[in-house]
Amino acid sequence: MGELLDGRYRLDGVIGRGGMADVHRATDVRLNRAVAVKLFHSATERSTLEARLLAGLSHPGLVRVYDAAPENDRPYLVMQLVDGPTLRRCLDTTGALDLRFTARLGTRLADALAYVHAHGVVHRDMKPANVLLDRDGTCFLTDFGIARAMGSARLTSAGHCIGTAAYLAPEQLRGENVGPAADIYSLGLVLLECLTGSPEYDGSDLEAAVARLSRPPRLPAWLPPVWTATLAAMTARDPQHRPSAADCAQRLAAATVLGTRRAPVRPPWRRAVETQRMQPAAVGY
């Protein structure tokens, strides 16, 4: 039997590790329900902020929060358990994804971002490791650990950037205040990686940052025009020239009919799900 947290949540095993918290597969013994418990290493302003931000959000494209104790000696969040791999694991396992699946994934993520932005929140760390896929290939945006309410006080010093270097918008790299447009840029890079199978700005953090500030993303010549136009707009250097998340969702929904690359009989994400069952520690929240 695993440890019982606050007399209710039985911790059944670690399924993800991070710098701020570990994520456990767990059981809510009162409701006999499988859940994920994000157990923070210590009580911090970030753990409290994440709990408060997520408590006010409810969208099909976001992992649901059931319970929280952000100010305990052992602060935690209790969340919906998504029993599948991260998009990072999926891409590492299968390589590039087909156009139609990527359009569906992008539509759902853009719709989730539109909801988040409408509620005054910027995610700030959109990347494949923060997208979970269930066994049907449905995606969920996760990890609001460095998210920020628009207009709130900064948790980082001015002139410093926060996030994952390979997916940061130019304004994040410059340490400027960021808004919803930064999430759009990062989502554009995530979708481009889904289609090519490789990060556009690879290498060390410094190499990725220098490349980002010196050239725009390279869009494959084989992309249909709607994809080229959409990704170019999403990754525009000037944040004011990027479309809103709602506009991105509409454009990507239109792109779902463009199946110019035939989907395989067994979709790539299905292979990743099967691999995930053997390597559950790759799940991230």
Q: Residues 30, 31, 37, 43: is their CA dihedral positive or negative?
A: negative
Check pLDDT > 90 for residue 227.
yes
* Residue ranges of the binding site for ATP: 38
pLDDT tens, residue by residue, 2-60: 889 999 999 999 998 887 889 999 999 999 999 999 998 887 766 777 777 888 899 99
pLDDT tens, residue by residue, 262-283: 444 345 555 555 555 445 444 4
| Block residue for tokens 């994000």 | 38
pLDDT band at 257 (very low <50, low <70, confident <90, very high): confident
Phi and psi at residue 79, in whole multiples of 5°? -130, 165
Q: What's the chain's length in residues?
A: 285
Is 133 in contact with 274 (CB distance < 8 Å)?
Answer: no
Share of the chain above pLDDT 90, in %: 58
Give the pLDDT of residue 54. 81
Task: Show the tokens assigned to 24.
Answer: 């456990």
Residues 6+ apart with CB under 8 A from 178: 122, 124, 169, 171, 172, 239
Full DSSP string of 11-39 = EEEEEEE-SSEEEEEEEETTTTEEEEEEE
* Residue ranges of the binding site: 38
Give the pLDDT of residue 44. 72
SS3 state at 281: helix
CA distance 40 to 26: 15
Task: Show the tokens assigned to 125.
Answer: 């760390």
pLDDT tens, residue by residue, 100-122: 999 999 999 999 999 999 999 99
CA distance 39 to 43: 10
| Bridge partners (DSSP) listed for residue 28 | 9, 33
User: Annotated catalytic residue: which of 12, 73, 92, 125?
Assistant: 125
Torsion of CA 225, 199, 276, 13, to 10 degrees: -130
CA distance 274 to 285: 19
pTM for the model stands at 0.86
Q: Tell me whether residue 22 is one of the annotated catalytic residues.
A: no
Q: Which of 240, 233, 197 is nearest to 217 (CA)?
A: 233
Q: To 5 degrees, how large is the angle CA 78–CA 181–CA 95? A: 70
Q: Which of 239, 231, 226 is nearest to 183 (CA)?
A: 239
Question: How many angstroms separate the Cα of 275 from the Cα of each of 94, 111, 193, 279?
Answer: 10, 28, 20, 6
| Block residue for tokens 């290939």 | 137
